Structure 1
Amino acid sequence: MALVLTSVAISQPKVDKDEYYVVIKKSDFTLTVYNRNHVWVARYPVVFGSKDLGDKMIAGDRKTPEGTFHIVSKKVHSKWCRFLALDYPNAESYEKFNERKAHGVISPNASIGGGIGIHGTWPNEDFAVDNYQPWTEGCISTKNEYIIELYNLLPVGTKVIIEP
């Protein structure tokens, strides 16, 4: 008589998009996760694309946008470990962008950009986060071990607030 072993997949309970929210404080280089009761859950160091921590103005300026966004997709990334895509530009972003154009703050021919997300670092380059090196094109980057934790914790739809 043969012994047959079967494996049973143990699934994680589905987390509601409103279970957590994220606050990124550019001036503190932090990403903090809160639960729905506004209790601090985790905090991670992050870096951005420019030493100028001002709000994103136009495509290619390497600045990180400020405002309220949501995670719209998640994927394992060949370069940056994991990628949590944000819904930038959204209606709030377009409103600020168009207002800046109307007031001559930016060129009438400028474009708003896109492709902003939260991701890891290049393989073996977590030191960029330790050294607060700006290296992205405007995304938020953290250490690979941290982005894996965030990827596993935060569902699509999670609110992300980026503050100055």
Structure 2
Amino acid sequence: MVPFTSIPEVLCLTGCPSQQILHVPPTGKELLNYNKSLSQLINSANVKEKTSILIEKSKYRLTVYYNQKPLKSYPVVFGGTPTGDKLQQGDNRTPEGILRIKDLYPHPQWSKFLWLDYPNPQSWRKHFQAKTQGKIAWYQPIGGEVGIHGVPQGADNMIDDRTNWTLGCPSLKNKDVEELYQVVQKGTLVEIVP
């Protein structure tokens, strides 16, 4: 159910925020600086405060930004239905929009888990719009527990082969999610675009 305190924002009673893209994507289809470590690319002690993430689903690319400049890209895969926005639990889609990391912790199966704040007011709004437009049934829940994580031990080939295996979470190679884990914190902005 929608948190009571979020109802004014979900219904746009306080004004709907614009849906503009916040990051300028790197040019081309290649991975930016993939063979360099983030520590080689960032020379700052307060890296976590200036880090954000852009995930481009159509390019299977997650890019780390520092001070709003693209630094490094990683290959990423998604849920079993990789196109389209997540509207309900069980649709195997990855949510699109502006999210934030709400927690991060080691994960027993997938190395690390960067838990995203899905559903947030923006996702609740899209969920209700889909219901009013008849795209999903009224009884369908929105879902949750979406985060950026690794793969089962020894399964990096799922990333190389672009195997969309999750229930909707973005998934990286374990070494990549471990590196990413070092430069993010609670509140880090994550933008996911088609």
Asked if TM exceeds 0.5, the reply is yes
Does 2:191 match 1:161? Answer: yes
8 Å CA contact 1:15, 1:155 repeated in 2: no
Instruction: Determine the C-alpha separation between the residues in 1 that align with 2:177 and 2:77.
Output: 13
- Unaligned 5+ residue runs, structure 2? 1-43
Letter in 1 for 2:75: P
1:14-163 to 2 correspondences below 5 Å: 15-17=47-49, 19-36=50-67, 38-163=68-193
Q: 1:52 Cα deviation (Å)?
A: 3.9
- Render the CA deviation track for 1:18-53: whole Å, top value 9, x for unaligned: x011000000000001112x2211100000012441
Is the radius of gyration larger for structure 1 or structure 2? Answer: 1
Structure 1 length-normalised TM = 0.88
Q: 1:147 Cα deviation (Å)?
A: 0.3
Bigger fraction of residues in strand: 1
Instruction: Determine the C-alpha separation between the residues in 2 that align with 1:144 and 1:162.
Output: 20
Q: 1:14 Cα deviation (Å)?
A: 5.0
Instruction: Determine the C-alpha separation between the residues in 2 that align with 1:77 and 1:135.
Output: 17
8 Å CA contact 1:65, 1:162 repeated in 2: yes
Number of matched residues? 151
Name the SS for the 2:180 alignment partner.
helix
Instruction: Determine the C-alpha separation between the residues in 2 that align with 1:99 and 1:51.
Output: 20
Question: Relative to 1, partners in 2 of residues 1:97 and 1:151: Cα closer, same or farther, differing over 3 Å?
Answer: same
Q: 1:57 Cα deviation (Å)?
A: 1.8
Structure with higher RCO (Cα < 8 A, 6+ apart): 1
Instruction: Determine the C-alpha separation between the residues in 2 that align with 1:151 and 1:81.
Output: 10
Instruction: Determine the C-alpha separation between the residues in 1 that align with 2:166 and 2:82.
Output: 12
- Let me know the Cα RMSD of the aligned residues: 1.3
